[in-house]
Structure formats: C-alpha cells, structure tokens
Chain A
Amino acid sequence: MRNLLVVCLLVLQSCNQISDRFAPKIGVIEINSVKDNALKIKIDVETSDGSDVYIQYWRYTNAGQTDSVISYSPISRENNLHHLMLVDVNLNTKYNFNVVVQKKSLKRNSKTYHFKTTSKTPWVPYYRDSDSISNVKFDGYLHFHSRQIPGYMFITNGEGKLASYYKNEANFKVSKWTNKETLLGILSNDTLHFTNGKKIIEYDKFGNTLLEIETGKDGIEQSFHHEVDLDANGDVMTLVYNEKIMDLSAVGGTKTDTIKGDGILVLNHKKEIVWQWSVFDVVNPLDDESILKSKNDWLHANGLFKDKQGDYYVSFRNISQVWKINGKTGNLVWKLGGVDGDFKMPDNALFSGQHNIRFTNTNELVLLDNGNLRFKPGYKQSTNSVNMLDINAGAQSRLLTLTLDTVNMQASIKDVVPFPKKYFTHSQGSAEYINDSLVVFCSTNTNRIVFTTPKGELLGNMPLEYSTYRVQYLHEMYDTSYAN
C-alpha cells in the first residue's frame, strides 16, 4: 500500500505540472562580449519552438539591494534560437538578469544570473567630469557623436552615463537617431571639415550596418553635408552640395565660374533617388551682389526638416533665413528672417546663424538662434565696419520657438530660452526641451553639452573630449511594452 501511495503522489505531481508543461522551456543561455564594443552584451537563448524571449536585467542602486533599476532587452519573437543583445548598459556595473520566455499567455523566467560590464573604456572619447551634471537627471537619453578619427556615435542616459556607442574608422560629421530606431551618420576621413562627407551610413541599434551610400557610387555625384535623417516613409533625406557653372563676368568673375550651392536629396534604401531639389532651381546667384565672395559655399544650408504635409524647410546660415520648399513642385513658398524675409517679425524674434530647425506637433518653428551677429536689425553683415573688439561681445545663443501666421505673414515669439553667455556658440550646435523644466543645449564651439532651466539658468554641463555637431534627446531607445 505504501507503494500505491507513492504512485498516487507521482500521478498528482504530474498533474500539478500540467500548466508548467505547456509553458515554453529554456535551454542553453550563452552570454558573450561583442568584439570591439564594450557596451553591447550578446545573449543567445535556446527555447521551445515558437517562443518570444527577452532579457530583464537590473542593477541595484543602493547598498542594501532594495532599490533597483529594471531594464528590458529588445524582444526576439517566435523562434527556438534567439540572438538577443543588450544595448543599454553602463560601464563598470554589476547586473542581475533573467531570461523571460513567453508563448501566448504562458511565461517562464529563468534562474537569476549576473554579469559585470567592462570597468572603463579609455579608448572611447567621451567626457571627463561626471560631477558637473550631478544636478541633472531625466528620463530618456541623449544622442551625439565625436568628431575625431576613429569616430563614435554615443547614447548617454539621463544620469549622463554612457549607455551605447557605435564606432567607425572614419569620422562622424553629423549623426541622427531616426524615427525607425536606427542611427544615421555622415562620414568623412578628414578631421578638417566640420560637417560634410562623402559617405552616409545607417546602423541599427545593435550596430549592424543597414545602408551605405557613397558619393561617386550608385549614380550619386554630390557630397553630403549638415543633415541626414529618415522621413516618414523611411527614406533617407540629406543636404548635398550642387555645383553650377555660370558666367559671372558681369560681377567680376570668369565666364565659366563654379558656384557651390545647396540641394536636397531623398534616397530610398535601394539607393534610388526619390526626390531632389537644388537652390539653383529657385534663385539666381547673380541676384546676390556678393556672389564672388560666397561662391564656394553659397548661402550655406545647415538644417533640413520635412513636415507632415511633405514640405521641406531648409536653414541657411549665411543669410540667417529659413525657407519653406514645396515638397512636390520644389517651389520656394516663403523665406523667414534675414534682410529680405517674407514675414513681419519683432526685433527680438530675429535670429542669426541659426541651426537645428524643426516644427512641433502644434506647428511652431523651433530653432537654435546662434545669435552670432551675422544679421541683426539695421546691421547688415559687413566685414569692414566690424570693430574688432565688439564682434560677438555679449553675443548670446537662444532656443527660439516661433509662431508663424502664414495668412498675415507675421512671426512672433512663443518661447525663448536664453543660454548663459559663456556657452555662446557662434557656429553649429542644437537646443531642445527634454521636459517642461529641463533644456539641453549643444554648445559646439565650447565643446559642452549644457543643461538649463527654461529660463536659461545653468544646471550643469558635460565637457566633451571632441566636438559634436549637435545633441539629440531621445525619449526612449525602443518600446518595451511587451514586458508589462
């Protein structure tokens, strides 16, 4: 009878495990470093067929190990062999982790394991004084790059800790985190020119190369500069240099003079040209009296944005103007700012040498007004009359939000964040709100990422080892709703 009891218990036990029996199983979990990237952790997981898998990992934030920050890896779906990668980890940190496997409503967690990340990566140029942002904490991430060879694209978290980086043997001149969770960069082999290059590269967040576009290949003749992004269709849009040979003898040039002007180029992922536009389509260089002086970089476009209606906006530094370009016809719709803008503007709304233009969801124009006195009311740019001591003395960069009334052609200030004068950047840079109480300002010329209140009061700064063209705020790197 005792034997019968054992048999019955066994039967009961096997019944208790019925639900467990249907939950997907976990086999070998293999964790490895990634060659050449200390902040990517590769975890391969073997599971039952057709399962979804992600890693939940956490670090304790206090000695008693009661507080922790939990993160989730990107998910791998419907497979039995999963190649997962953690793309959001910090240096010199001990993490605990579980493999979570799920299939329909059944879920299983592995045992808890742990790993520790590389203590330091001194070969990665980044920033050196973490105390300087101890007053700044926010949800989300920042993306920026390092203009040096080799080049790096970075993602730092809201504590200023490096969370991800991507390396290239060439030099990132411009970079952008896209709406498809990829990273785009304009690459060049030189360290001299600030913002142009002959190659565009796109990485996924794991560091795999998705796309490479090169000047002189695939029928693309122009070089790329200042802007690269994906539009809503997932096509690559960038600013390019177009060259036009013209008779400039009327203004003292030669009969076959070359003018370098800006253009827009939109390419799909097959590297086919989807749309293109050239500044020469809409304006005549001979209308510019100083064309001989500026022909090597006429107007100098430095920013491109496409709105929901499919129209483009181009920022021109040399004339301190933003132009709206019809996304179908290529026609110039209007010009904002500068000496011959189409909008009436109060003096304090005028901007100069601006960068980082874009429209908000509520249709306001936001930009970094570098404030470099290339243009100010009643003060037409002139190199001769500038007193050497007053140039840019007291100049100030601002984050400017403008409301545009395109019926009455009136621009007005909605919001302005004046940045501390010591971080004035006469060229390059970016600025945006991280949240209602925090603004991030990329002061390229002083090599700082600066944090301020909406009133422009300094909260902290990250000194960078090498300059970045701009800094971009990311609310998140990827959606993790599957973990809830």
Chain B
Amino acid sequence: MREKNLFKITSYYLFCICFIALSGCSDDLEEELKGQLSESSISTESDAVALIDGIYNGFLDGGWGYYASGVLARATDGITDVFVLNDTKYRNLETYNWTDEDIVSDLWASIYTVVDRANWAVLLIEGIDESAFSDVTKEELLAEAKFLRGLAYYDLTGLFGDVPLKLEPTKSDEVGLARTAVETVYEQIEADFEYAVTYLPGRSYTPGKASKGAAYGFLAKTQLRQLKWAEAGVNIDNLIALGDYNLFTESNFLELFYESNVLDDEFIFSIMSLGESYSTASNHHLKFFTPWGYDTGWATVGLPVNIYNEIETGDERNEVYFEEYPYLYGGATKNAIDDFGFAINRKFGSYNRDVTAPGTGYVAYQNYGISKMGVPVLRYSDVLLLKAEIENELNGPSTEAYNAINQVRNRSGLPNLTEGLSADGFRAAVLKERAIELAGEGQRKDDLIRQGVFVSTLNQYAQEQGYSVTITEDYQLMPIPRTELDLNPNMEPNPSNNF
C-alpha cells in the first residue's frame, strides 16, 4: 500500500512537471481575432457634399449626355413640332422611324446612373452622424439628393412611362427590377419633392443648386402629369409667393441665354456647366443647337417653319429665332429656311459665350466646345405660363390667368393677349405662348400630352414635314432599350418597341 502510494505521489509530481513544461511552451499569448470593418468609411461633411456633387455631375454625363449637348432636348422637344432635327444621327428620331430600340438608350443609362448616385447619397448621408455637419444640415443634403432623384425619375417617366423604381443603391449584379406602374413612381417623385420643399432653403446664389422654389415647381409639374390641376396650382402659387424669382427684363430676351446671365433670377433650376475643360463638366450645348454655317455649331437643327411663322410681329423673341443669318464665311446674309428648311434657334448658340469666348468671328470660335452655358430646366416664364394654364383649367380665363400670360408676353414686347377669349381659346393661346417661349428647352411634349393634343398636333406636324407616318398615343413613350430587355427578364417592352 505504501509503495503504491509512493508511486502515486511520484507520478503526480512528474505529471505536474510535465504540465508546467507544456503550458510553459505557450507563454501567456492566446491568438484571438477582434474588431470589424465598417461598410462605409464616410464620416465628413465634405464627403457628403462630394456625393451630392457627383449626382449633379451625372446630369451632364461628362458634358456629352443627358441634359448636356442637347441629348434630352432631342428626345423630348425633338419629337415635337418645336424642334426639327435634320442631323443624320437624329433623323430617325425626327421622322418617327423608331425601329432601333436603342434610339434613346444612352438616356436610360445616364438617368439611372443619376438615380444610383442619389440612392447612394441618401443611404450614406443617412449613416453620417449629425455632429459632422456644420455648413449645411444633414436634412438639407438629403433633400438635395432626393430632389435630384425626383427629377431623374420625372425625366424617366416622361420618356418611358412605367419604369423600375429603385430606391436602394446597386451593390451587386442582381437581377433587374420589373417596371413599376407610373402612378406609383409619381407617388415616390412627389414624396421626394415634398421632402425637398420641407428641407431645402430658398434660392441660393445659383440656380444650379436645388432649392425650395425648384422643388415646388417640379412637384407641380409632376402633379400636372397626373392632371391634378388644383394641387399643382397650390404649388405654383407657393413658388411665386416665395418672391425669389422674376422675369429677365434687364436686357433683350436673347441675352437671358448669355453666359454672363446664367445666374439670373429668372432661372429657378438649371444644370450648370463648370466650363472647365473640353472634356470635363463643360456643357457642349453650344455645338448642338445651331448649324455650322452660322456659328460653327455641329447641328442641323432649329425651329420648324410653322411655329416660326406664328411668332407675332414685334415679338422680341424674333431675335432668338430668326431666318436671316450672317454666313460664317464672309458674313453675307443668308436665309436659314432656304438653306436648312428651318429657322435658327440661337438660345444655345456659340455667340452667347460672352464669358468664355467674347467677340465674333475667330475670337468667338476659340475655346471650341467649352462653355459656361447653363441648361435651363425650370424658368420663371414657364411657371407663369403654367399659372395661366392651371387658372384657366380651374376657373376659366380669369384676370389672374390673363395677368400671368401677359407678364410673359409684355416682357417680349408684345401687347396683352386679346381679351374675352373662351376657355378653349385661352388654352390654345397658352399652348402657343409656351411653344414660342420654351422651344428647345424640353417642355413641349408634356404640354401636348397634358392638353390631349399630342396625336393631333404631331400628325399635323408630320404631314407638314412630309413624314409618311401616322402618330398614335403609342408615340408618347420611347422604346425600352434592347439591352435592358435582353439583360433583365423582368423587363417589359413599350408599344414603340414594336414599331
């Protein structure tokens, strides 16, 4: 028993020694992983502002797409009777020969890029701590992002009708969404603009920044798409009541479009060119609205003859839309209607560059495609004419309605509109006034649809131009790009995909 105990004791000590030796092999360090990575490393106000700047940049798409270079205007005004496109590249669009399903596919891509940037901005800015903001509030930046997202969806629905409603940023190559009924998309657009109305400040130094006024304006326009006249009227009145805007009367109407006037308070919202270099953030509008022989423009496009002929004598806008032009080589007077079959619309001509290339001749040609020209998206004259139109729809051609349209007419040196018009007569007068005032600025298609004259007006236009086509309501929506249909099994075509 004793021996056994001794052995037990010995082995106990040996065991202890070995245990100590073994545990001694690992000093007191134990491998262990701690910590984690955060999904977003964005934490400062300047990052948030950079996100917002990125959305604005998307509207110029490098200077060559979406609002820049007349791309959107061609897909909106370009299919109507106020903007004729004789360029080879846009001839099929102009003549309603839309068999190419990718006829406006670039726009689809550009606009969804803007939507995605806005979705990222909303997601990431929401994640930033309030304390990071000093110059602007978090809500203000979110409101800017939502305003821009609203505008992008406003443009998408105008072009394509039902569209996939994406409110989350794209993180992977997930299968595309199906189209959402346009009514639902409008609800979202209105929600974004309403948020913007609540949190955005009034007019800043530049129309290039989203503002309360711009949000009221686009809220009204979205409601007008749905023929919600009364609600739109309230928002238009709210915009006017801000008192931030007025018509440009400092000089001739033409000069409103000069580079030096891009900050004028007639502009409620514009896509601004930074004019920095040929390839960055410059707006190349100056090359896409006029023919070469006039001012080295690259575009054989202009104002169709019939609308041009409706411009009244004494209308100052005749300086913007004109027939007789000085030929680039030698300066002899030539006739645009003879040469091109349309009147020149020089809202965005090269000679409006009184900042980046002041002067005429070669001097005006320098800096080539660079300009600081803005793209007006919402002007006060547009607002006043909408005011007149809404008032007429709600209460007939009242004094208020006349007052609104007459402000715009008087600014261009025209007398007051004939008094005592019927509601129909007044409606037609507003429609014509809008066509002349806003040609080339992308308003006409909505105007025609809203007033139910899209089919009749464009059939007449097609006939006048000699295009053998019968316009139907199917022409209100552009074809869904073929790539989208191929890649996204949930995507449905528009009727125009089968033209």
Q: Which residues of A contact B (CB under 8 A)?
A: 3-4, 6-7, 10-11, 13-14, 17-18, 20-21, 25-38, 41, 46-48, 92, 110-111, 113, 115-125, 128, 148-150, 169, 191, 388, 444-448, 463, 465-467
The contact sample of 18 A-B pairs, CB cut-off 8 A, is: A7-B18, A18-B25, A20-B25, A25-B26, A25-B27, A25-B31, A26-B31, A31-B35, A32-B35, A33-B41, A37-B41, A122-B116, A128-B113, A445-B278, A446-B278, A447-B280, A466-B281, A467-B277
Residues of chain A within 8 A (CB-CB) of B8 are 3
Closest approach, in angstroms, between the C-beta of B340 and any C-beta of chain A? Answer: 21
Interface size on B, as a range, is: 35 or more
- A149–B50 CA distance with the chains assembled, in angstroms: 8
Tell me if B37 and A41 are in contact (CB < 8 A).
Answer: yes
Tell me if B280 and A119 are in contact (CB < 8 A).
Answer: no
Closest approach, in angstroms, between the C-beta of B159 and any C-beta of chain A? Answer: 22
- A27–B32 CA distance with the chains assembled, in angstroms: 6
User: Mask for B29-71, Cβ within 8 A of A = 1, else 0?
Assistant: 1111111111111111011101101100100001000000000
Tell me if A29 and B31 are in contact (CB < 8 A).
Answer: yes
- A30–B34 CA distance with the chains assembled, in angstroms: 5
Listed residue (A115, A121, A169) with the most chain B CB atoms within 10 angstroms of its CB: A121
Residues of chain B within 8 A (CB-CB) of A110 are 31
- A33–B37 CA distance with the chains assembled, in angstroms: 5
Closest approach, in angstroms, between the C-beta of A455 and any C-beta of chain B? Answer: 25
- A113–B34 CA distance with the chains assembled, in angstroms: 11
A21-B25, A120-B171, A463-B62 in contact; A7/B34 too (CB < 8 A)? no
Task: Find the A residue at minimum CB distance from B170.
Answer: A120
Task: Find the B residue at minimum CB distance from A465.
Answer: B57
> Residue B21 at the A interface, CB < 8 A?
yes
For window 167-189 of B, CB contacts with A under 8 Å fall at 169, 171-172
Task: Find the B residue at minimum CB distance from A426.
Answer: B278
Residues of chain B within 8 A (CB-CB) of A3 are 7-8, 11
Task: Find the A residue at minimum CB distance from B274.
Answer: A191
A31-B37, A169-B46 in contact; A17/B11 too (CB < 8 A)? no
Task: Find the B residue at minimum CB distance from A467.
Answer: B280
- A148–B274 CA distance with the chains assembled, in angstroms: 11
Listed residue (A11, A25, A27, A123) with the most chain B CB atoms within 10 angstroms of its CB: A123
Residues of chain A within 8 A (CB-CB) of B136 are none
- A72–B305 CA distance with the chains assembled, in angstroms: 70
Which of B75-83, B117-125, B220-228, B402-410 binds A?
A: B117-125
> Residue B365 at the A interface, CB < 8 A?
yes
Residues of chain A within 8 A (CB-CB) of B362 are 388
- A27–B33 CA distance with the chains assembled, in angstroms: 9
Task: Find the B residue at minimum CB distance from A428.
Answer: B277
Q: Which residues of B contact A (CB under 8 A)?
A: 7-8, 11, 14-15, 18-19, 21-22, 24-27, 29-44, 46-48, 50-51, 53-54, 57, 62, 113, 116-117, 120-121, 124, 169, 171-172, 274, 276-281, 361-362, 365
Q: Which 8 A-B pairs have the closest CB atoms?
A: A27-B29, A10-B18, A38-B41, A25-B29, A447-B279, A21-B25, A388-B362, A122-B120
Tell me if A17 and B29 are in contact (CB < 8 A).
Answer: no
- A118–B44 CA distance with the chains assembled, in angstroms: 17
Residues of chain A within 8 A (CB-CB) of B171 are 92, 119-120
A10-B19, A14-B22 in contact; A123/B42 too (CB < 8 A)? yes
- A447–B62 CA distance with the chains assembled, in angstroms: 10
Tell me if B40 and A38 are in contact (CB < 8 A).
Answer: yes
A36-B42, A38-B41 in contact; A21/B24 too (CB < 8 A)? yes
- A178–B58 CA distance with the chains assembled, in angstroms: 34
Tell me if B21 and A116 are in contact (CB < 8 A).
Answer: no
Residues of chain B within 8 A (CB-CB) of A466 are 280-281
Residue in contact with B40 in the complex, picked from A13, A46, A118, CB distance below 8 Å:
A118
- A34–B35 CA distance with the chains assembled, in angstroms: 12
Tell me if B31 and A119 are in contact (CB < 8 A).
Answer: no
Residues of chain A within 8 A (CB-CB) of B53 are 148
Task: Find the B residue at minimum CB distance from A21.
Answer: B25
Tell me if A30 and B121 are in contact (CB < 8 A).
Answer: no
- A388–B292 CA distance with the chains assembled, in angstroms: 13
Task: Find the A residue at minimum CB distance from B23.
Answer: A14
Residues of chain A within 8 A (CB-CB) of B278 are 445-446
Closest approach, in angstroms, between the C-beta of A10 and any C-beta of chain B? Answer: 4
Residues of chain A within 8 A (CB-CB) of B276 are 191, 467
Task: Find the A residue at minimum CB distance from B44.
Answer: A36
- A32–B37 CA distance with the chains assembled, in angstroms: 5
Residues of chain B within 8 A (CB-CB) of A17 are 22, 25
Residues of chain B within 8 A (CB-CB) of A120 are 120, 169, 171
Tell me if A446 and B29 are in contact (CB < 8 A).
Answer: no
Closest approach, in angstroms, between the C-beta of B253 and any C-beta of chain A? Answer: 29
Known: A33-B37, A388-B362. 8 other contacts (CB 8 A): A21-B25, A30-B35, A48-B27, A115-B37, A120-B171, A123-B124, A150-B50, A463-B62
Task: Find the B residue at minimum CB distance from A38.
Answer: B41
A36-B41, A123-B50 in contact; A14/B18 too (CB < 8 A)? yes
Residues of chain B within 8 A (CB-CB) of A445 are 277-279
Residues of chain B within 8 A (CB-CB) of A48 are 27, 29
Task: Find the A residue at minimum CB distance from B62.
Answer: A463
Residue in contact with A446 in the complex, picked from B25, B35, B41, B279, CB distance below 8 Å:
B279
Listed residue (B18, B22, B43) with the most chain A CB atoms within 10 angstroms of its CB: B18
Residue in contact with B277 in the complex, picked from A20, A125, A447, A448, CB distance below 8 Å:
A447
- A149–B116 CA distance with the chains assembled, in angstroms: 22
Task: Find the B residue at minimum CB distance from A27.
Answer: B29
Residues of chain A within 8 A (CB-CB) of B172 are 119
Residue in contact with B43 in the complex, picked from A32, A36, A128, CB distance below 8 Å:
A36
- A32–B33 CA distance with the chains assembled, in angstroms: 11
A17-B25, A122-B51 in contact; A29/B33 too (CB < 8 A)? yes
Closest approach, in angstroms, between the C-beta of B88 and any C-beta of chain A? Answer: 20
Closest approach, in angstroms, between the C-beta of B25 and any C-beta of chain A? Answer: 4
A34-B41, A120-B171 in contact; A26/B22 too (CB < 8 A)? no
- A4–B10 CA distance with the chains assembled, in angstroms: 10
